[in-house]
Amino acid sequence: MIVCLGWGSLIWRPEELPLIDGRPEAWRDDGPELPIEFLRQSNNGCLTLVINRGSSRSRVLWNALTVTTLPDAIEALRHREGDTKSSWIGRWPNGDHFECAEVVEQWAQSRDLEGVVWTAIPAKLHGENYRRPTQSEALDYLEGLEGDSRRLAEEYVRKAPAQIDTPYRRAIADALRWNPI
């Protein structure tokens, strides 16, 4: 079985990702523990969750895919993520260079999985990939949003699985009252 890891909008908006069961409640909550934080300013204004060394660890979710090959899984997730770079789609096996690959490998082997894919898009702020915003910068950014951008950003933060409990999320909840749904 080939599976996809998730911690953000994949859970409630998988779009064309070929999941065996695309309902939010079908995602299993016993994935590997990965360093996840709200660190990427997306094109629609959201501050999204990404893997980032040094962030606190959260247990991510996972769901089985209908595809039967790892290249097909990579392409499916790449397409779901807006036709992002293939190098921004983590994979196991054969993805030793990805952040947390060893953690994913141990988890996958303990479940006798054939393959795992995950989003490996980097942190970004003000158009600068790999720029990790400080907690203060993240809050300032979110507080400055208006209209649809603010609505989408709030929806993203609130709909992220409650088990993704990070320092930035707690600060956002305190400052903006964007608590998990």
Give the pLDDT confidence score for residue 158 in this predicted structure. Answer: 97
- 65 vs 41: CA distance, rounded Å: 27
Q: Which residue has the tokens 């790892």?
A: 70
Q: Does a structural domain hold residue 159? A: yes
* Chain segment 57-77, per-residue pLDDT in tens: 999 999 999 999 999 999 999
**Spatial contact of 162 and 61, defined as CB atoms under 8 Å apart:** no
pTM across the whole model? 0.95
Instruction: Say whether pLDDT at 95 is over 90.
Output: no
Q: What is the mean pLDDT of the chain?
A: 95
Give the pLDDT confidence score for residue 130 in this predicted structure. Answer: 87
- 29 vs 160: CA distance, rounded Å: 12
**Spatial contact of 59 and 29, defined as CB atoms under 8 Å apart:** yes
Give the pLDDT confidence score for residue 150 in this predicted structure. Answer: 96
Q: Domain of 168?
A: 2-176
CA–CA distance from 128 to each of 13, 88, 108, 121, 174 (Å)?
A: 26, 15, 32, 12, 27
Core vs surface per residue 142-172: b (16+ CB within 10 A) or e? beebeeeebebbbbbbbbbbeebebebbebb
Instruction: Name the band, by pLDDT with cuts 50, 70 and 90, for residue 97.
Output: confident
Q: What is the mean pLDDT of residues 92-112?
A: 93
Domains: count for the chain: 1
Instruction: Say whether pLDDT at 78 is over 90.
Output: yes
Q: What is the mean pLDDT of residues 132-138?
A: 96
* Chain segment 3-55, per-residue pLDDT in tens: 999 999 999 999 999 999 999 999 999 999 999 999 999 989 899 999 999 99
Q: Does a structural domain hold residue 181? A: no
- 180 vs 150: CA distance, rounded Å: 16
The percentage of the chain sitting over the pLDDT mark of 90, rounded to a whole number, equals: 91
Q: Does a structural domain hold residue 161? A: yes
Question: What 3-state DSSP class applies to 59?
Answer: strand
